[in-house]
Amino acid sequence: MLIHTSTPFVLTSDPLMVPEDSEELVAAAKSVSLQLGEGTESPVTLRGGRFVFDTANESLLWELLPSLLHVAADDTSSWRVRSLLRLNEMETLQPGPGSEFLIARLMELILVEMLRRETPKVDDRSTGLIAGLLDPAIANALLAMHGEIARAWSVAELARLCGVSRSGFATRFKDVLGVGPIEYLMNWRMAVAKDELRRGRRSIVEIALAVGFQSPSAFSTSFTRAVGCSPKRFAGKAA
Protein backbone atom coordinates (compact mmCIF):
# COMPACT_ATOMS: atom_id res chain seq x y z
CA MET A 1 0.00 0.00 0.00
CA LEU A 2 1.08 3.56 -0.70
CA ILE A 3 -0.61 6.19 1.46
CA HIS A 4 0.14 9.88 1.04
CA THR A 5 -0.92 11.27 4.38
CA SER A 6 0.62 11.88 7.78
CA THR A 7 -2.68 11.01 9.48
CA PRO A 8 -2.29 8.01 11.85
CA PHE A 9 -4.01 4.83 10.68
CA VAL A 10 -4.65 1.32 11.97
CA LEU A 11 -3.78 -1.80 9.99
CA THR A 12 -5.63 -4.81 11.42
CA SER A 13 -7.42 -8.05 10.61
CA ASP A 14 -10.06 -7.31 13.25
CA PRO A 15 -11.38 -3.77 13.93
CA LEU A 16 -12.19 -4.79 17.52
CA MET A 17 -8.57 -5.53 18.40
CA VAL A 18 -6.66 -2.99 20.49
CA PRO A 19 -3.91 -1.58 18.25
CA GLU A 20 -0.27 -1.27 19.30
CA ASP A 21 1.75 1.84 18.50
CA SER A 22 4.34 0.93 15.86
CA GLU A 23 6.74 3.71 16.91
CA GLU A 24 6.79 2.41 20.48
CA LEU A 25 7.37 -1.16 19.30
CA VAL A 26 10.28 -0.19 17.05
CA ALA A 27 11.80 2.02 19.77
CA ALA A 28 11.59 -0.82 22.30
CA ALA A 29 13.15 -3.32 19.89
CA LYS A 30 16.03 -0.96 19.05
CA SER A 31 16.20 -2.65 15.67
CA VAL A 32 14.93 -2.22 12.13
CA SER A 33 13.29 -5.64 12.47
CA LEU A 34 11.03 -7.10 15.16
CA GLN A 35 8.69 -10.07 15.59
CA LEU A 36 5.32 -10.06 17.36
CA GLY A 37 3.11 -12.93 18.46
CA GLU A 38 3.68 -16.55 19.39
CA GLY A 39 4.63 -17.67 15.92
CA THR A 40 1.94 -20.35 15.78
CA GLU A 41 -0.11 -18.72 13.00
CA SER A 42 0.81 -18.08 9.38
CA PRO A 43 3.40 -15.28 9.37
CA VAL A 44 2.62 -11.82 8.05
CA THR A 45 5.47 -9.50 7.15
CA LEU A 46 5.03 -5.73 7.35
CA ARG A 47 7.62 -3.35 5.96
CA GLY A 48 7.31 0.40 6.31
CA GLY A 49 9.06 3.29 4.64
CA ARG A 50 8.49 6.83 3.51
CA PHE A 51 9.27 9.13 0.61
CA VAL A 52 10.58 12.66 1.16
CA PHE A 53 10.52 14.85 -1.94
CA ASP A 54 13.11 17.60 -2.28
CA THR A 55 10.83 19.96 -4.14
CA ALA A 56 8.74 23.01 -3.43
CA ASN A 57 5.82 21.28 -5.15
CA GLU A 58 5.58 18.11 -3.08
CA SER A 59 2.06 18.92 -1.90
CA LEU A 60 0.87 19.48 -5.47
CA LEU A 61 2.11 16.04 -6.52
CA TRP A 62 0.32 14.23 -3.70
CA GLU A 63 -2.87 16.25 -4.09
CA LEU A 64 -3.14 15.05 -7.68
CA LEU A 65 -2.77 11.36 -6.85
CA PRO A 66 -5.27 8.98 -5.24
CA SER A 67 -5.06 8.94 -1.44
CA LEU A 68 -4.42 5.18 -1.41
CA LEU A 69 -2.67 2.87 -3.86
CA HIS A 70 -3.02 -0.85 -3.18
CA VAL A 71 -1.50 -3.91 -4.83
CA ALA A 72 -3.31 -7.10 -3.80
CA ALA A 73 -1.07 -9.97 -2.69
CA ASP A 74 -2.95 -12.43 -4.91
CA ASP A 75 -2.61 -10.25 -8.01
CA THR A 76 -0.63 -12.38 -10.45
CA SER A 77 0.78 -9.29 -12.17
CA SER A 78 2.23 -7.83 -8.95
CA TRP A 79 5.47 -9.80 -9.12
CA ARG A 80 7.53 -6.68 -9.88
CA VAL A 81 6.46 -4.99 -6.65
CA ARG A 82 7.03 -8.19 -4.66
CA SER A 83 10.50 -8.61 -6.16
CA LEU A 84 11.47 -5.01 -5.41
CA LEU A 85 10.20 -5.31 -1.84
CA ARG A 86 12.15 -8.53 -1.38
CA LEU A 87 15.36 -6.93 -2.65
CA ASN A 88 14.75 -3.97 -0.36
CA GLU A 89 14.30 -6.29 2.61
CA MET A 90 17.46 -8.26 1.86
CA GLU A 91 19.56 -5.12 1.46
CA THR A 92 18.18 -3.65 4.69
CA LEU A 93 18.81 -6.76 6.79
CA GLN A 94 22.18 -7.57 5.19
CA PRO A 95 23.73 -4.21 4.28
CA GLY A 96 26.95 -3.92 2.33
CA PRO A 97 28.96 -1.27 0.49
CA GLY A 98 26.58 1.09 -1.31
CA SER A 99 23.51 -0.22 0.53
CA GLU A 100 22.15 3.24 1.34
CA PHE A 101 22.28 4.25 -2.32
CA LEU A 102 20.80 0.95 -3.49
CA ILE A 103 17.92 1.07 -0.98
CA ALA A 104 17.06 4.62 -2.06
CA ARG A 105 16.94 3.57 -5.74
CA LEU A 106 14.83 0.51 -4.89
CA MET A 107 12.35 2.74 -3.05
CA GLU A 108 12.12 4.99 -6.11
CA LEU A 109 11.45 1.97 -8.32
CA ILE A 110 8.74 0.78 -5.92
CA LEU A 111 7.06 4.19 -6.13
CA VAL A 112 7.20 4.23 -9.93
CA GLU A 113 5.84 0.69 -10.16
CA MET A 114 2.96 1.53 -7.81
CA LEU A 115 2.05 4.57 -9.90
CA ARG A 116 2.27 2.57 -13.14
CA ARG A 117 -0.04 -0.07 -11.77
CA GLU A 118 -2.64 2.50 -10.76
CA THR A 119 -3.48 3.49 -14.34
CA PRO A 120 -5.45 0.35 -15.35
CA LYS A 121 -7.58 0.62 -12.19
CA VAL A 122 -9.05 4.02 -13.01
CA ASP A 123 -12.85 4.09 -13.16
CA ASP A 124 -15.63 6.67 -12.87
CA ARG A 125 -15.01 7.01 -9.12
CA SER A 126 -11.24 7.48 -9.38
CA THR A 127 -9.63 10.79 -8.51
CA GLY A 128 -6.27 12.44 -9.12
CA LEU A 129 -4.20 13.47 -12.12
CA ILE A 130 -3.94 9.95 -13.53
CA ALA A 131 -7.72 9.61 -13.49
CA GLY A 132 -8.10 13.05 -15.05
CA LEU A 133 -5.77 12.28 -17.94
CA LEU A 134 -7.77 9.13 -18.70
CA ASP A 135 -11.17 10.83 -18.39
CA PRO A 136 -12.49 11.90 -21.83
CA ALA A 137 -14.58 14.63 -20.19
CA ILE A 138 -11.54 16.54 -18.90
CA ALA A 139 -8.34 15.05 -20.40
CA ASN A 140 -8.08 17.51 -23.30
CA ALA A 141 -8.46 20.42 -20.89
CA LEU A 142 -5.60 19.17 -18.73
CA LEU A 143 -3.35 18.67 -21.74
CA ALA A 144 -4.23 22.13 -23.06
CA MET A 145 -3.51 23.88 -19.76
CA HIS A 146 -0.21 22.05 -19.36
CA GLY A 147 0.73 22.75 -22.98
CA GLU A 148 -0.17 26.46 -22.97
CA ILE A 149 0.23 27.50 -19.37
CA ALA A 150 0.44 31.22 -20.20
CA ARG A 151 -2.84 31.33 -22.11
CA ALA A 152 -5.81 33.04 -20.45
CA TRP A 153 -8.02 29.96 -20.47
CA SER A 154 -11.70 30.22 -19.62
CA VAL A 155 -13.92 27.41 -18.36
CA ALA A 156 -16.04 27.72 -21.50
CA GLU A 157 -12.99 27.27 -23.78
CA LEU A 158 -11.80 24.24 -21.86
CA ALA A 159 -15.26 22.69 -21.92
CA ARG A 160 -15.44 23.10 -25.71
CA LEU A 161 -12.11 21.30 -26.08
CA CYS A 162 -13.62 18.36 -24.22
CA GLY A 163 -16.92 18.46 -26.10
CA VAL A 164 -19.05 18.81 -22.97
CA SER A 165 -21.20 21.52 -21.43
CA ARG A 166 -19.58 24.22 -19.31
CA SER A 167 -21.41 23.20 -16.14
CA GLY A 168 -20.87 19.48 -16.72
CA PHE A 169 -17.18 20.03 -17.37
CA ALA A 170 -16.68 22.19 -14.27
CA THR A 171 -18.48 19.69 -12.05
CA ARG A 172 -16.60 16.67 -13.40
CA PHE A 173 -13.26 18.46 -13.21
CA LYS A 174 -13.71 19.33 -9.55
CA ASP A 175 -14.97 15.83 -8.72
CA VAL A 176 -11.82 14.26 -10.19
CA LEU A 177 -9.13 16.86 -9.40
CA GLY A 178 -10.56 18.28 -6.19
CA VAL A 179 -10.39 21.89 -7.43
CA GLY A 180 -12.03 23.88 -10.21
CA PRO A 181 -10.33 24.30 -13.64
CA ILE A 182 -9.13 27.87 -13.08
CA GLU A 183 -7.86 27.11 -9.59
CA TYR A 184 -6.02 24.09 -10.99
CA LEU A 185 -4.46 26.28 -13.69
CA MET A 186 -3.32 28.81 -11.09
CA ASN A 187 -1.86 26.04 -8.91
CA TRP A 188 0.00 24.66 -11.91
CA ARG A 189 1.33 28.11 -12.80
CA MET A 190 2.63 28.55 -9.26
CA ALA A 191 4.22 25.10 -9.36
CA VAL A 192 6.07 25.90 -12.58
CA ALA A 193 7.08 29.31 -11.23
CA LYS A 194 8.52 27.77 -8.07
CA ASP A 195 10.59 25.33 -10.07
CA GLU A 196 11.89 28.14 -12.29
CA LEU A 197 12.78 30.26 -9.27
CA ARG A 198 14.62 27.34 -7.68
CA ARG A 199 16.67 26.81 -10.84
CA GLY A 200 17.63 30.50 -10.93
CA ARG A 201 18.17 30.59 -14.70
CA ARG A 202 15.46 33.14 -15.57
CA SER A 203 14.54 36.54 -14.22
CA ILE A 204 11.31 37.12 -12.31
CA VAL A 205 10.00 39.15 -15.27
CA GLU A 206 10.65 36.25 -17.66
CA ILE A 207 9.03 33.76 -15.31
CA ALA A 208 5.99 35.99 -14.83
CA LEU A 209 5.39 36.19 -18.58
CA ALA A 210 6.05 32.46 -19.05
CA VAL A 211 3.32 31.47 -16.59
CA GLY A 212 0.67 33.85 -17.88
CA PHE A 213 1.07 37.16 -16.03
CA GLN A 214 1.26 40.44 -17.92
CA SER A 215 3.29 42.20 -15.23
CA PRO A 216 5.78 41.23 -12.52
CA SER A 217 3.66 42.99 -9.90
CA ALA A 218 0.57 40.91 -10.70
CA PHE A 219 2.71 37.77 -10.61
CA SER A 220 4.30 38.79 -7.31
CA THR A 221 0.90 39.44 -5.73
CA SER A 222 -0.51 36.06 -6.82
CA PHE A 223 2.68 34.22 -5.89
CA THR A 224 2.81 35.77 -2.42
CA ARG A 225 -0.85 34.92 -1.84
CA ALA A 226 -0.32 31.29 -2.89
CA VAL A 227 3.11 30.59 -1.41
CA GLY A 228 3.34 32.94 1.54
CA CYS A 229 6.38 34.91 0.41
CA SER A 230 7.46 37.00 -2.56
CA PRO A 231 9.13 35.42 -5.63
CA LYS A 232 12.39 37.22 -4.78
CA ARG A 233 12.41 35.88 -1.24
CA PHE A 234 11.49 32.36 -2.40
CA ALA A 235 14.35 32.39 -4.91
CA GLY A 236 16.74 33.61 -2.21
CA LYS A 237 15.78 30.80 0.17
CA ALA A 238 16.10 28.20 -2.59
CA ALA A 239 19.56 29.38 -3.66
How would residue 40 be classed by pLDDT, with cut points 50, 70 and 90? confident
Residue-wise pLDDT for 155-175, tens only, equals 999 999 999 999 999 999 998
Residues 32, 47: Cα–Cα separation, whole Å: 10
Q: Say which range, 73-77, 195-199, 218-222, has the weakest mean pLDDT.
A: 73-77
Residue-number span of the structural domain to which 171 is assigned? 129-178
pLDDT at 65 over 70: no
List the CATH number of the domain containing 233.
1.10.10.60
> Is the residue at 16 inside a domain?
no
Lowest mean pLDDT segment, chosen from 53-67, 152-166, 189-203: 53-67
Same domain, 174 and 190: no
Q: What is the pLDDT of residue 163?
A: 93
Nearest to 222 by CA among 202, 239, 207: 207
**How many independent structural domains does the chain possess?**
3
Phi, psi at 134, each rounded to 5°:
-100, 0
Q: Kindly tell me the sign of the dihedral angle through the C-alpha atoms of 222, 226, 230, 235.
A: negative
**Statement: residue 112 has pLDDT above 90:** no
pLDDT value of position 133: 79
Shared-domain flag, residues 54 and 112: yes
Residue 85 lies in a domain: yes
Any domain includes 43? no
- Both 73 and 152 in one domain: the answer is no
Query: Would residue 201 count as lying in a domain?
Result: yes
**Average pLDDT, integer, range 77-99:** 87
112 or 96, higher pLDDT: 96
Q: Is 40 part of any domain? A: no
Within-domain flag for 136: yes
Across the chain, mean pLDDT equals: 83
